[in-house]
Amino acid sequence: MNKIHRAVLVGTGGIGDAHVRAVADSRGRVELVAACDIDAARARAFCDRHGIPAAHTDYAAMLKAERPDFVLIAAPPGLHADMSIAAMEAGAWALCEKPLCASLAEFDRIAAAEQRTGRRTACVFQMRFASSNTHVRSMLRAGQFGRPLVAICHTLWYRDAAYYAVPWRGKWTTELGGPTMSQGIHTMDHLLDLMGDWTEIRAVADTLYHGIEVEDVSMALVKFANGARASIVNSTLCPRQETYLRLDCERATLELTHLYAYQKSNWKLTPADPAESGALMQTWEKFPPDVGSNHGAQLNALVDDLESGAVPLTSGPEARRTLEFLTALYKSAFTGTTVTRGSIQPGDPFYTALHGGQAPKREKKG
């Protein structure tokens, strides 16, 4: 009989519901035994609503009492690194919401804790785990679309004043960044998952409208190791919201259009040569059974990793690559320089703080 893994959740805000659904999608492999929130009434109401046995207000006490196999972290971003390390030190694997941590220095603390404890922390990057993405990625890596040449990566979202009125949002120490870290991080990680290693980035970041510390828009031009180029826009200023990822390859254009989640119907393929389109389309249409880009798909993959001893896809070098990319975007934006991969090392102010001790330019409202 397969083991049922014990899980606990910390943070019972809106994203906590997604983790409850993820546990339900595990088909009995994971059991949610407790949830924690500093607001006792909210924790109890959340547990009652979802049939979770135990409600806690103290994270350390919950870890000690419940002895979980998995900790699902949905607390405010500024707490993520310490909570992930505490989970591993308590003997659990952590599945932590993005952004995973506040700097490359914090990430390296998490990596050191992984080595010390033998446990793992995976960042929630659910866009990688849709079954349709696995299919598209395998075709890309097999060269069936030809060499990637140009990519577009847009996170065009909208956040109003009420969103930023939540005390921890819009601040470097607690939200850890603006749409670069809190919204566009998903699509940029998805881009890296498909395109592979990046080599250099040139970027801008500004605060154009919201009265916040962090940026509300960023843009970047990127070069990849395979020679391809990409343009990126991250924004919380777009009333007509859209998430758009496009790859133009030698033999075809791939497009993915959605908002917060997708399935295979959100993908579109346009072959370059109609004469060769038949064979390419035939392979393209061999999608596996459709599993969308949800937390459940990632949690099931993480359970597989724990049981097999594998390194999770969004742990270790892959997770660090994405964080280094975002750090380089900020450094480029705030210093006006092109930043190359591997250049941000201990001693660099951007190694210990995403903003490097600087802040985005703030434009006056018209």
Residue numbers of the domain that contains 61: 5-127+296-311
Cα pseudo-dihedral 290, 291, 293, 294, rounded to 10: 150
Residue pLDDT tens, the chain, 366 long: 589 999 999 999 999 999 999 999 999 999 999 999 999 999 999 999 999 999 999 999 999 999 999 999 999 999 999 999 999 999 999 999 999 999 999 999 999 999 999 999 999 999 999 999 999 999 999 999 999 999 999 999 999 999 999 999 999 999 999 999 999 999 999 999 999 999 999 999 999 999 999 999 999 999 999 999 999 999 999 999 999 999 999 999 999 999 999 999 999 999 999 887 888 999 999 999 999 999 999 999 999 999 999 999 999 999 999 999 999 999 999 999 999 999 999 999 999 999 999 876 565 554
Residues 6 or more apart whose Cβ sits within 8 Å of residue 74: 9, 10, 11, 12, 13, 15, 16, 19, 97
The reported pLDDT for the residue numbered 365 is 54
According to DSSP, the residues that pair with 207 across neighbouring strands are: 362
Q: Report yes or no on 20 lying in a domain.
A: yes
Task: Check whether residue 183 and residue 288 sit in a common domain.
Answer: yes
The reported pLDDT for the residue numbered 165 is 96
Q: How many domains does the chain have?
A: 2
Task: Check whether residue 183 and residue 73 sit in a common domain.
Answer: no
**In this structure, are residues 197 and 119 in contact, taking their beta carbons and an 8 Å threshold?**
no
Report residue 207 as tokens.
């605060």
Task: Check whether residue 190 and residue 119 sit in a common domain.
Answer: no
Task: Check whether residue 201 and residue 74 sit in a common domain.
Answer: no
- 181 φψ region: left (φ > 0), alpha (ψ -120 to 50), beta (else): alpha
The reported pLDDT for the residue numbered 358 is 85
Task: Check whether residue 25 and residue 172 sit in a common domain.
Answer: no
Task: Check whether residue 257 and residue 176 sit in a common domain.
Answer: yes
Task: Check whether residue 121 and residue 143 sit in a common domain.
Answer: no
Task: Check whether residue 241 and residue 344 sit in a common domain.
Answer: yes
The reported pLDDT for the residue numbered 39 is 96
The reported pLDDT for the residue numbered 363 is 56
Give all strands (DSSP E) within the chain, no chain letters: 5-10, 30-36, 54-56, 70-73, 93-96, 121-123, 148-158, 198-207, 217-224, 229-235, 237-249, 252-258, 267-271, 339-340, 361-362
The reported pLDDT for the residue numbered 277 is 85
Q: Where are the alpha helices (DSSP H) in 25-92?
A: 40-50, 59-66, 80-89
> What is the rounded distance in angstroms from the CA atom of residue 80 to the CA atom of residue 323?
14
